């Protein structure tokens, strides 16, 4: 039995395993003593974002002109992977393309993302694209850190009202040419984002409103649908912020004696032994048209203002063929929503 043939095969296999592949060893290096990364620092910043009137993909703020240092020079073969790594959220962009390039999510700030731009790294190829999507520049590449990085913030999804902060020193992410980290973007003094929703306060005098309809004569009602004169009242909203529309729902028991009473805003009288019969109370809007019950309706829309006055009216309305005298009180509660 001879070992000559297996030994030859083994040597051949070993030679194959040790064969040199120049591409596998390709990497980037600093050149001419100009060593990076360029570190960009954003000053203290805060943003206020309206959660309602902001569309996904809309820019909501920016930090312009982040200063960087030092400048550097790299040398790469051009086959190396390059791009940006987001360190405050998912690696993949929330929005792949915008006027400022990819938009990356910030995990701790719901519905808000950011993009980086305005340097030589933003041109084609855009090195703020996710790492691996572009290649490092071929040969010597000089980066002037006096060019400034711009950070733009965007709505990327549903937002929740509140204040969200990134602490001082937060590293947003970095650009790498293969093994070299060439740029870092850092929030030196942190960032706070205030996500606000539209809101008002119902004034004290509007929280409980009594509208006297006075004494009416039963004989003045001449048939179903006939009414007394209307009496006006106002609901006052104050300390409004970011409000473009007001919606209200008036909750009450609709009068069962009147056709389509809820849509016609006709409220059933409160129960009582001495109550009038054949009559209800009708709620009217500012145009003296029926204000529907138990259904949210827009009652105002316009430019934001600190204080709003919403006019309404009420009146007695005949609901049966015959009206008998007595007490005629009704109760309605309102709920306010804002846009």
Instruction: Write out the two tokens for 142.
Output: 């000089």
CATH number at residue 67: 2.60.40.3310
The reported pLDDT for the residue numbered 44 is 67
Summarize the confidence of residues 271-295 as an average pLDDT: 95
Q: Are 161 and 263 in the same domain?
A: no
The reported pLDDT for the residue numbered 125 is 84
Percent of the chain whose predicted confidence (pLDDT) is above 70? 92
Q: Using one digit for the tens of pLDDT, what is the confidence trace for 1-47?
A: 333 444 333 333 333 333 444 444 568 999 999 999 999 998 767 88
Contact 293, 265 (CB under 8 A): yes
Query: Do the bridges between strand 266-267 and strand 308-318 make them parallel or antiparallel, or are there none, so unpaired?
Result: unpaired
Q: Are 69 and 189 in the same domain?
A: yes
The reported pLDDT for the residue numbered 117 is 87
Q: Are 37 and 104 in the same domain?
A: yes
120: three-class secondary structure by DSSP: helix
Q: Are 242 and 192 in the same domain?
A: no
In a domain, 17, yes or no: no
Chain centroid offset of residue 223 CA? 53
Q: Using one digit for the tens of pLDDT, what is the confidence trace for 228-278?
A: 999 999 999 999 988 889 999 999 999 999 999 999 999 999 998 789 999
Answer whether residue 84 shows pLDDT above 90: yes
The reported pLDDT for the residue numbered 49 is 87
The reported pLDDT for the residue numbered 192 is 92
Q: Is 228 exposed, middle or buried (0-12, 13-18, 19+ CB in 10 A)?
A: buried
In a domain, 180, yes or no: yes
Domain region containing 74:
25-196
Q: Is 121 exposed, middle or buried (0-12, 13-18, 19+ CB in 10 A)?
A: buried
User: Is 121 or 114 the better-scoring residue by pLDDT?
Assistant: 114
Contact 329, 270 (CB under 8 A): yes
Total domain count, the chain: 2
In a domain, 177, yes or no: yes
The reported pLDDT for the residue numbered 220 is 94
The reported pLDDT for the residue numbered 6 is 41
Contact 177, 37 (CB under 8 A): no
Q: Are 131 and 265 in the same domain?
A: no
Summarize the confidence of residues 176-193 as an average pLDDT: 94
**C-alpha span between 106 and 189 (Å, rounded):** 17
Question: Mean pLDDT across the chain, nearest whole number?
Answer: 89
Phi–psi pair at 228, nearest 5 degrees:
-85, 175
- Helix, strand, coil shares of the chain as percentages rounded to 5? 10, 45, 50
Q: Using one digit for the tens of pLDDT, what is the confidence trace for 53-76?
A: 788 999 998 887 788 999 999 999
End-to-end CA distance of the chain: 92
Q: Are 68 and 189 in the same domain?
A: yes
Q: Are 35 and 104 in the same domain?
A: yes
**C-alpha span between 103 and 97 (Å, rounded):** 7
User: Is 82 or 99 the better-scoring residue by pLDDT?
Assistant: 82
Largest Cα span, the chain = 130
Q: Are 263 and 327 in the same domain?
A: yes
**C-alpha span between 134 and 65 (Å, rounded):** 25
Q: Are 134 and 37 in the same domain?
A: yes
DSSP H/E element including 336? strand 333-338
């Amino acid at each position: 039995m001879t070992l000559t043939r297996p030994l030859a095969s083994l040597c051949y296999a070993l030679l194959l395993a040790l064969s040199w592949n120049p591409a596998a060893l390709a990497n980037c290096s600093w050149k001419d003593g100009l060593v990076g990364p360029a570190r960009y620092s954003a000053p203290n910043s805060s943003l206020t974002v309206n959660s309602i009137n902001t569309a996904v993909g809309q820019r909501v703020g920016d930090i312009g002109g982040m200063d960087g240092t030092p400048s550097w020079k790299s040398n790469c073969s051009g086959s190396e992977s390059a791009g940006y790594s987001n360190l405050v959220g998912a690696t993949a962009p929330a929005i792949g393309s915008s006027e400022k390039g990819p938009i990356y999510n910030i995990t701790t700030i719901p519905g808000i993302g950011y993009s980086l731009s305005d340097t030589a790294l933003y041109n084609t190829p855009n090195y703020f694209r996710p790492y691996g999507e572009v290649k490092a520049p071929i040969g010597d590449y000089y980066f002037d850190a006096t060019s400034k990085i711009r950070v733009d913030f965007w709505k990327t999804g549903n937002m929740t009202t509140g204040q969200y902060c990134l602490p001082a020193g937060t590293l947003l992410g970095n650009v790498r040419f293969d093994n070299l980290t060439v740029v870092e973007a850092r929030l030196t003094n942190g960032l706070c984002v205030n996500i606000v929703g539209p809101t008002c306060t119902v004034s004290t005098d509007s929280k409980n409103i009594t509208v006297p309809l006075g004494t009416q004569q039963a004989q003045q009602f001449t048939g179903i649908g006939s009414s007394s004169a209307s009496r006006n009242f106002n609901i006052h909203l104050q300390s409004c912020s970011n409000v473009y529309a007001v919606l209200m729902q008036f909750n009450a028991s609709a009068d069962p004696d009147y056709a389509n009473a809820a849509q016609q805003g006709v409220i059933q009288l409160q129960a009582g032994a001495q109550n009038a019969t054949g009559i209800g109370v009708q709620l009217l809007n500012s145009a003296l048209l029926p204000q529907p019950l138990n259904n949210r309706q827009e009652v105002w829309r316009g430019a934001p203002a600190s204080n709003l006055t919403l006019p309404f009216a009420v009146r007695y309305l005949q609901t049966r063929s015959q009206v008998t005298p007595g007490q005629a009180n009704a109760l309605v509660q309102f709920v306010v929503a804002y846009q």
